[in-house]
Amino acid sequence: KQEVTQIPAALSVPEGENLVLNCSFTDSAIYNLQWFRQDPGKGLTSLLLIQSSQREQTSGRLNASLDKSSGRSTLYIAASQPGDSATYLCAVSGSARQLTFGSGTQLTVLP
Amino acid sequence: EAGVAQSPRYKIIEKRQSVAFWCNPISGHATLYWYQQILGQGPKLLIQFQNNGVVDDSQLPKDRFSAERLKGVDSTLKIQPAKLEDSAVYLCASSVIQGGSSYEQYFGPGTRLTVT
């Protein structure tokens, strides 16, 4: 059974810092990996999707990497802003295309 | 394109009552998912539909939860009778094959259920 772990559970940084969120998964036979953002009381917004054959994806200040063999992914946020404050969720998709989520990292960017 | 729609956004009921949630996926998306997200946890899949057929409902508590997807479009999720531990956000998502390989899931805003 796939298990996804996200470290740290919470992170607080001053504005302008670069930061890395970590995600690990136990079964490397994944189809793709998605990073989501969730604001309080809201649904999930997809940030980046990495296919199993890819190593990384970039969107603006966000860069996600995938090392399938070691069961790890990182989400890099450059020049963090207070508007980046949210919970970031990592999810992996298996052969049935269902997502297994981690518990998330709650990020606070201080002005 | 319009996103995934869900209603109601909030619902408060007493234990042992029944409740129903509605989801309208993105037009053309054949696959629809219902997830349960308990506070402080990541979403957990309850049921997956492909068109109007069930692909996986192994984590759906079938003694109290039921779901259907009529005509392969809208879906409803019902809880009867509700328990305190059902308090959670219920998220609906949909996906479509893009180039044969994406299956990226798009989520609705969710329904926050409080059982008292």
Do B103 and A97 lie within an 8 Å CB cutoff? Answer: yes
Task: Express each pLDDT in B27-71 by its tens digit.
Answer: 989 899 999 999 989 999 999 998 889 989 999 999 999 999 988
Structure token digits, residue A105: 């990292």
Task: Express each pLDDT in A12-43 by its tens digit.
Answer: 999 999 999 999 999 999 989 999 999 987 88
Query: Across the A/B interface, how many CB contacts are shorter than 8 Å?
Result: 58
Chain A residue with Cα closest to B55? A96
User: Using a CB cutoff of 8 Å and minimum separation of 24, what contacts does A2-6 make?
Assistant: A2/A26, A2/A27, A2/A30, A2/A92, A2/A94, A2/A100, A3/A100, A4/A90, A4/A91, A4/A92, A4/A100, A4/A101, A4/A102, A4/B42, A5/A102, A5/A103, A6/A88, A6/A89, A6/A90, A6/A102, A6/A103, A6/A104, A6/A105
Instruction: Please tell me if residue B106 touches chain A, with a CB cutoff of 8 Å.
Output: yes
Do A34 and B105 lie within an 8 Å CB cutoff? Answer: yes
Minimum-distance CB partner of A93 among B56, B103, B109: B103
**pLDDT over threshold 80, residue A81:** yes
Do B108 and A46 lie within an 8 Å CB cutoff? Answer: no
Closest CA to A34 of A66, A70, A81: A66
Task: Express each pLDDT in B92-115 by its tens digit.
Answer: 999 886 544 557 889 999 999 999
Instruction: Please tell me if residue B25 touches chain A, with a CB cutoff of 8 Å.
Output: no
Percent of chain A at pLDDT > 70 equals 100
Q: What is the per-residue pLDDT for B1?
A: 63
